[in-house]
Every structure is written in C-alpha cells, then in structure tokens.
Structure 1
Amino acid sequence: MNKLNKNQLKLYDYMSELSEIAYTASWMENLEFSLWKGMNNEITSFGHLKFTQEIRDKLKILSDNIGGWIYFDEENEEQFADWKKWNEIKNNVLHHRL
C-alpha cells in the first residue's frame, strides 16, 4: 500500500473488509469497480456481499470525505484517485470491456 493518508486508509480498509465478506480475499480483482457499481445501485450483490443501504451510504461518505476512490494498480498496488482520475480509469476499463 503506497502513501494513502488517514482518511484514504479508512476507505481502503472498508473496501478490503467488504472484499473479505464477498470472497474471503483482502482485495478481490476488480473490487473497486464492483463496489462502485454497488454503491451506485448498479448491482445488488458481489459474491457473498449484499449491498445494503448502510453499505452504500458508508462507501459514499468515505469517498466523499476524500474526494475520490481507491483503486488497484499492478505496479503501485492500492492508490488514491481524485474524481477526475477515477472517472478516467473507470471509463477506460468499461470501454475496454465492451
């Protein structure tokens, strides 16, 4: 994990906790995209994790507090992306999956 500040670590830790619930893995592949979709009501479950309003709200609050999202980078591991960078990452990944 590289240079996440205290508030970014709170989101990272919560995302990792949700990954453990979903798949008993600290950071499941594409976790950041699945949790994003769950937070935005695009999916209702991820593995064994069911997206409750409480989970969606906590993800929203934690991400709003830092003004961005946490994602996994193969070279640098978990990283913070502000909203502009996150939208670029998300759109690039979604574009390549179509």
Structure 2
Amino acid sequence: MTQPKLPVTCPSCATALSVTQLSCGHCGTAVSGNYTLPLLLQLSEDDLQFVLQFFMTGGSLKEMASQMGNSYPTVRNKLDDIIERINQLNKKSNP
C-alpha cells in the first residue's frame, strides 16, 4: 500500500503550502514555524520516481533508457524537463 503524497498546494486556491509544525511521535515534542517545502518534495510523483531512478542508476541515462524501454533522447528530454521545473521552483522560492 502506498502512502499518500504530502500535499504541496492548497486544495482551495492552489497556492503553495508551507510546513507549520513538525512533531515527534515518540515523545510528543512539537516544533512550530513557517517553513517552505524542499524543492524535490514539490515535484510530481512521476518526477520524483524519475529522480530516484536516476540516482539509483548512478546518473546513467543510458542505463535508465534501457530499464525504461525508452530511447536515450527521450530520457534526456525528461531529465531536462525536470531540471527546468526545479529551476522555476527555485526562482519562486528565491525571488
């Protein structure tokens, strides 16, 4: 059973959500504040899976293409798209 993905946008207005509290399930300690989500958590589930596979293949796009049954250019384009999304998210976080 897969765990639900952490929501990153408001279901009412689609604005980016922020973390306001973290708590320890063991001792009950809670930390409150207003923290932005890390960039990678703001990616879609598909993009996160791609990044994980990229990491697990040691960054070999050739190996990824073989595992995915896709051509090298297709996998390279997917990586370029993810890099662009991360750059856009980074610009929003650091105007």
TM-score normalised by structure 1 residue count:
0.32
TM-score normalised by structure 2 residue count:
0.33
| Higher-helix-fraction structure | 1
Decide which structure has the larger Cα Rg and report it. 2
